[in-house]
Amino acid sequence: MLQSQNRAAAAPDRRPTGMRERGEMTRDRLLEAAEEVFAEQGFFRASIAEITRRAGVAQGTFYLYFKAKEEIFRELVRKMSHDLRRTLQEATAPILDRRDAERVGLETFLEFVLQRRNLYTVMRECEFVDPELHRWHYQRLAEGYVRGLRVAMARGQVRQMDPEALAYFLMGAAHMIGMRWTYWENTLPPREAVETIVSAMLYGIDPTGRGPDPVPGAGPEETPGHDHDKGENASADPGPSNSPGQDPAPDADPTPNRSPSPDPDTDPNAR
C-alpha cells in the first residue's frame, strides 16, 4: 500500500477571486484528465506527463496542485466517491417510503455509472493502489445505507434484519447489475431486469413473497414474536430517514497524511 504523506493545515487562500476560480478550473481539468488516464492505462502505467497533456497545461503546473501521482489518484477516488453519494442523496432524500427509495436509488446509481463508467475501473485500481482507501469508499456508502435502513425498520417499512448485512447485500446487487449492463454494454439495463432486482429487493426469492424471519437478535431492537410486517413500530419515528448511500457527516479521510488540497467532502451538500 502506498505510504501516506503528512497533511498540513491549508493556509487561507488570499488570491483574488478571479485567480482562485481559474485555479479551481485548472485543478478540475487535471482531475478529469487523471480519471481518463487512470481508467485507460491503470495507475502504474499512467504518467503525469500524459495527465497534463490531456488537461492542456504545462507539466510543471501539475505540481502547483499535487505533489505526486499518488496524491491526485487518492483525491480522484475521494471525489468520485463523494460525487456518487451526493447524487444518490439528492435523488432519494425527499422520498419517505424506503421501498420507493430503493427503486429510485438503484435507477440513480445506474444512470450515474452510465455517465461515469470510469467509476468501476478507478475503484478496481484503488483496490491494489491503496486498499485502505478502497475499503473506505464502500464503508462510507454502507454507513449511510445502514442508518437509512435502521430508520425504515423502526417505521415498519422494512423487516427487522441485520442492517449492515442488508446494506452490503443491496449495494452488491446494484454493483453487479451496473457492471452487467451499464459498464459492459454501455447502456441502462432493460426494464424487466430493473423490475426483477427491485422485486427481489422488496420481496426476496421466496415464491410466497415473504421468507422466514431472521434469527432473533440479528437486527437492532429485535423483539421475539413481533410481527414486523404489520408496521407496529410505524409510529416510532426517530427522525428524517437517510436515503440510500446518504451520509451527511463529513468524511473521515483514511489517508489523512496528505498535502493541502481542497476536499470535495467539505461541501455542505456532501453525504
- Looking up residue 44, the CATH number of its domain turns out to be 1.10.10.60
Does residue 99 share a domain with residue 52? no
Q: Taking the model in full, what pTM does it have?
A: 0.72
Does residue 146 share a domain with residue 122? yes
CA distance 209 to 136: 34
Does pLDDT of 243 surpass 70? no
Q: For residue 205, what is its C-alpha cell?
A: 426469492
Burial class (CB in 10 A: 0-12, 13-18, 19+), 227: exposed
Q: What is the domain count for the chain?
A: 2
196-218 residue pLDDT tens: 999 999 988 888 766 555 545 54
What's the confidence (pLDDT) of residue 224?
39
32-62 residue pLDDT tens: 999 999 999 999 999 999 999 999 999 999 9
> What's the chain's length in residues?
271
Tell me the mean pLDDT in the region 233-262: 45
What's the DSSP call for residue 266? Answer: G
74-124 residue pLDDT tens: 999 999 999 999 999 999 999 999 999 999 999 999 999 999 999 999 999
Q: Residue 61's domain spans which residues?
A: 12-67
What's the confidence (pLDDT) of residue 267?
45
Residue 85's nearest CA partner among 132, 158, 9, 147 is 147
